Amino acid sequence: MQLVEPRPPRPLPIRITPLIDVVFILLVFFMLTSHLLPTGFLELDSRVPEGDASGGTTRPELQLNASGQLRWQQQEWQLPALIQQLQRQGSDDINLGTAAETPLTDFTRTLSTLESAGISVHWRREPAPEQRREQ
């Protein structure tokens, strides 16, 4: 005969530390085994109009250098004048190349100005000089 009732069993708390350890080990494993693709060429718009696959027309090639200057057809251009010239020629699709050292602010300003003028932009980043030597 028991005079004292036994205490109800308390649920054991779940220890979170081993779970966190397992998550971090999985994170490190996937970080080490994943392969990141090179981003030397990033096409911002992949839509191709019909009939353009034959390569009948070429896109104008613009270059944005590290100082923020636009270069097209072997001469420097101011952005408003360049947009007017492209619109006169009927070019609504261009390739924009940037140097590896081009500031992000200059790139985004140029890209947004061209896009707001109705010009579709495809972007290609030139590799840094030390990356060019390795390839």
**pLDDT tens-digit series, residues 56-104:** 567 888 888 888 888 888 889 888 888 888 888 888 888 888 887 888 8
Work out the number of other CB atoms within 10 angstroms of the CB of residue 98: 21
pTM above 0.75, yes or no: no
Q: In the prediction, which pLDDT does 3 show?
A: 72
Q: Which long-range contacts (CB under 8 A, 24 or more apart) does 85-88 make?
A: 86/60, 86/119, 87/117, 87/118, 87/119
- Weakest-pLDDT range from 37-51, 56-70, 103-117: 37-51
